[in-house]
Structure 1
Amino acid sequence: MVNTVQLNLNVFELTDEKFYQICQDNRDLRFEKNAQGYLIIMSPTGDETSYRNGRLTQQLFNWSDQDQRGIPFDSSAGFILPNGATRSPDAAWIPLEKWNKIDRHKREKFSPICPDFVIELRSPSDNLKPLQEKMKEYIENGTRLGWLINRQDRQVEIYRQEKEVEILDNPNSLSGADILNGFVLDLELIW
């Protein structure tokens, strides 16, 4: 099962504004735009993945409510990365001081910022390789910590700035370490 389709729309320039309007006009679909300007159409996740992603973001939001040093996001947020791609991680977090530097009007659409922390949760229909490439793209654009949660293999790939990818087999939890001090994701709710 293929869950994404890439369209080369080079017959016209897919500006950030046009991309935002496509997303608004087609709210039942999920879109991303890669750095080459291709429109990526993603199918909705299944109910099981949606539930588990909700549990994941719930934990991040609960921690962030207590911590109050940043802003958490769910999978409906879009971020314009420095390379020009617009990506929507399954969960993300941005430090408050970085978030406050963004013009309020830009926040109403897709903010020109790369989150410091991202999570991608692999759906049963997702191919692993494109998700790994997406994680590398986040890191190359400024993400400091990223977790790729692969439920099918019960593995987590941890991405960090200037470090090799770390792979954990069947962990019970993940620590946000020095990026999200005090955040621990309970994976029993995700597996």
Structure 2
Amino acid sequence: MSDMWTGERIRLRGVEPEDWEGFRDLARNTVDVRNADLVEPPRSDASFRAWTAERAGRTPDSTSYRLVIEVLADGSFAGSVTVGEADRRAGRFKTGIEISRDHRRKGYAAEASELVLTYMFAEQRYNKCEVEIYAFNEPSLALYRKLGFTQEGVLRQHEFFAGAHQDLVLLGLTAAEHWSTHHLPHLA
């Protein structure tokens, strides 16, 4: 059996209610949260259970979804990957990724990103993926550059947190650029 959502080390799957602890743990480190988004006040376990249960009940569509990154070796929660702001007319979408601290530097983020890119380019006919990364987030910038993304611009002093305005780096990858280094999915 061939599953386009399974790589060598991880698989992408839908959110389950039991994933609430993994999402809570992702939100506990201020530096990590700031790298991915904006810092919010602490939330209760009940809030994380409700948030995760609501997402588990959603039917994913091809324009906006969140998937859990699960380690094949032990079934552990390694993080999540999202797709959103998809524009079918223009043929572009955005993606983002969060990896828990104990699962970093193992290739899970790159593998999860490549699975999503293959799905969006080969199955959904999108032409371009865009990411927005804070300029200080060197590990994420390095990841996307390794995946073939090209810097397309910088929104200077775009967000405010940690006492200062921060730059936001815009990167993009076209389907042709992706397929120049990857094989199309097998038909049989």
Interval containing the TM-score (normalised by the shorter chain):
0.3 to 0.5
Q: Which has the higher strand share?
A: 2
TM-score using structure 1 length: 0.36
TM-score normalised to the size of structure 2?
Answer: 0.36
